[in-house]
Structure formats: structure tokens, C-alpha cells
């Protein structure tokens, strides 16, 4: 059984003369342990699809099966629980609390779960260690570089050990060196911890780290490319 299965997904915005068909009957299967780069020009539908996959939005029609569960049959609270327990999010803009330490930012998802403070902090330190930032745990995001902020965001996304990691332009605000560091971390999360990853990106060099590239155009899949070789994961200390 597929981990994620999309069947004839459509997404329509507006009505009448203002109708816009963002997705036009997308069907797709994602296996557990896949690493997919979702690509396409602005307005191609990739962001609409990512929002549906992350349970942040519902399709206008079609079925979205997440580990056998039809998301369309879930109410808002149930979808929120699915996100909280099974999906991790990494955003281009990091979305960190600016005057809060890296440790506190990372432990935030566990706070929502009601996990005791001592346990939260222990797990948050472990997650920061995994991305090479344990020694920066008590620094606020204002004191961190862009690459470090994105590492904190990754640590926050994986602290709950999600089955599915959705990364929206995770290297969009970074220079080439920091982008490669982030991609090496994502690659290791996929290969070592078997986390299924879907990454939205405009960058061809970053897409080569994925196992599969899915290119969107005008609301549908244009073509799918299987990467023959993936970039090697760095074994340097601090990269998991």
C-alpha cells in the first residue's frame, strides 16, 4: 500500500469569471522513504499541492489517502492532529520566534503535546545536536545566521519524529554553501531515519539531492524524473 496516494485531485479558487483551476486532476503515489523534489514555475500548482499534502488545505475534489486514511473525511480537529503527530514542516522563512532561544523554538511542538519541560528540553537538545547546533541552544534566532536558523527549523520539524517531512523552499534564502549543508541534512534524514520528504524548490542543483523530481505545469504533472545518483551525504561532524 502506498504511504500517500492522490486520486484525481483538483483545486479551484474563486467562481464564475474569476475561477482559477490550480490543480486539474492530479494523481500521484508516494512510497514510504521517498524523497521527492516538486518543481515548476510560479502558478504551476505545486504550492497548492504541497498545502493539500500538508493538510493545510483541502482539495476541491478527488481523494487524498495518507497512510490509508482519506483526509477528506477528517474534520478540522482531526486534520490538525494528523499534522501534529505525523507531519513536519520546514519553511523558506524559518518561522522562528525571534526573541526565543533555539532550544525553546525546537521544543515548541512538544509543548503543544503537553510533554513535561525536562523531557522537552532533553529531546530538543538531541534534535539540535543532530543538526550540529547543540552549542547554540541558548542563543536566540536573532543571534544566528540564516543557515543556522534553517537548522533550528529542521530540528523543530523532526523533534516529533514525523513520518512525512514537507519542506517549502528550504534553501531559498541561503547561499550555495549553506544550501548544500541543509540538503545534506535532509538527505541523511531520508536515508538514515527513513523519513519521507517532499521538497518544493526552484533550484535544479538542490533537486538533484532527491530520489525523484516531479515537474508541474499548468496545474498538472508535466513529467517525472528519477535521479540516477543522489548527492553524497557529508559525514562531517555535526551533520547528524
Per-residue pLDDT reduced to its tens digit, 1-34: 689 999 999 999 998 888 999 999 999 999 999 9
Percent of the chain with pLDDT over 90: 82
> What pLDDT score does 70 carry?
94
Contact assessment for residue 186 and residue 167, using Cβ atoms and an 8 Å cutoff: yes
Q: What integer is the mean pLDDT of 150-168?
A: 94
Residue 238 pLDDT greater than 70, yes or no? no
In angstroms, the CA 190 to CA 224 distance is 19
Sign, CA dihedral 95-168-219-197, equals: negative
Q: Tell me the angle at which helices 117-130 and 146-158 cross, rounded to the nearest 10 degrees.
A: 130
Q: Which residues in 92-109 are b (16+ Cβ under 10 Å) and which e?
A: bebebeeeebbbbbbbeb
Per residue in 172-183, pLDDT (tens digit) is: 889 999 999 999
Q: What integer is the mean pLDDT of 185-190?
A: 94
> What pLDDT score does 229 carry?
58
Q: What integer is the mean pLDDT of 64-88?
A: 93
Question: Which 8-state DSSP code applies to residue 140?
Answer: B
> What pLDDT score does 6 carry?
96
Comparison of pLDDT for 122 and 2, the residue scoring more: 122
DSSP-assigned letters across all residues of 51-120: HHHTTSS--SEEEEEETTEEGGGS-HHHHHHHHHHHEEEEETT----TTSBHHHHHHHHHHHTT--HHHH
Q: What integer is the mean pLDDT of 207-216?
A: 95
Contact assessment for residue 127 and residue 161, using Cβ atoms and an 8 Å cutoff: no
> What pLDDT score does 227 carry?
87
Any idea which of 67-71, 85-89, 95-99, 125-129 has the lowest mean pLDDT?
A: 95-99
Q: Is 216 buried (19+), middle (13-18) or exposed (0-12) by CB count in 10 A?
A: buried
pLDDT interval class at 72 (50, 70, 90): confident
pLDDT interval class at 235 (50, 70, 90): very low
Q: Where are the beta strands (DSSP E) in 77-235?
A: 87-91, 164-168, 196-200, 212-217, 220-226
> What pLDDT score does 113 carry?
86
> What pLDDT score does 74 carry?
94
In angstroms, the CA 144 to CA 152 distance is 9
Per residue in 96-110, pLDDT (tens digit) is: 998 899 999 999 999
Q: What integer is the mean pLDDT of 72-100?
A: 91
Q: Which residues in 172-209 are b (16+ Cβ under 10 Å) and which e?
A: bbbeeebbbbbbbbbbbbbeeeebbbbbbbebeebbbb
Q: What integer is the mean pLDDT of 24-50?
A: 94
The cell numbers describing 9, all together, are 485531485
Mean pLDDT, the chain, as a whole number? 91
Q: Which domains does the chain have, with CATH numbers?
A: 32-59+75-226 (3.40.50.300)
Which residues does 57 contact at the CB level (< 8 Å), separation at least 6?
Answer: 11, 48, 51
Q: What integer is the mean pLDDT of 137-156?
A: 94
Amino acid at each position: 500500500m502506498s504511504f500517500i496516494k492522490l486520486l484525481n485531485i483538483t483545486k479551484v479558487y474563486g467562481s464564475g469569471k474569476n475561477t482559477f483551476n490550480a490543480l486539474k486532476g492530479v494523481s500521484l503515489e508516494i512510497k514510504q522513504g521517498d524523497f521527492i523534489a516538486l518543481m515548476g514555475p510560479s502558478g504551476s500548482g505545486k504550492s497548492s499541492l504541497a498545502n493539500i499534502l500538508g493538510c493545510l488545505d483541502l482539495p476541491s475534489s478527488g481523494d487524498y489517502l495518507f497512510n490509508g486514511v482519506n483526509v477528506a473525511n477528517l474534520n478540522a480537529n482531526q486534520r490538525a492532529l494528523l499534522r501534529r503527530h505525523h507531519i513536519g514542516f520546514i519553511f523558506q522563512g524559518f518561522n522562528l520566534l525571534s526573541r526565543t532561544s533555539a532550544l525553546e523554538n525546537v521544543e515548541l511542538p512538544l509543548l503543544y503535546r503537553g510533554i513535561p519541560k525536562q523531557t522537552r528540553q532533553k529531546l530538543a537538545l538531541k534534535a539540535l545536536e543532530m543538526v550540529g547546533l547543540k552549542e547554540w541552544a541558548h542563543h536566540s534566532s536573532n543571534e544566528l545566521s540564516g543557515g543556522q536558523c534553517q537548522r533550528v527549523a529542521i530540528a523543530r520539524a523532526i523533534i516529533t519524529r514525523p513520518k512525512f517531512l514537507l519542506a517549502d523552499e528550504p534553501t531559498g534564502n541561503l547561499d550555495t554553501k549553506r544550501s548544500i549543508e541543509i540538503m545534506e541534512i535532509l538527505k541523511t534524514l531520508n536515508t538514515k531515519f527513513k523519513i519521507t520528504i517532499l521538497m518544493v524548490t526552484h533550484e535544479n542543483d538542490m533537486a538533484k539531492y532527491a530520489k525523484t523530481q516531479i515537474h508541474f505545469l499548468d496545474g498538472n504533472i508535466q513529467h517525472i524524473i528519477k535521479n540516477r545518483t543522489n548527492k553524497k551525504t557529508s559525514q562531517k561532524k555535526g551533520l547528524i
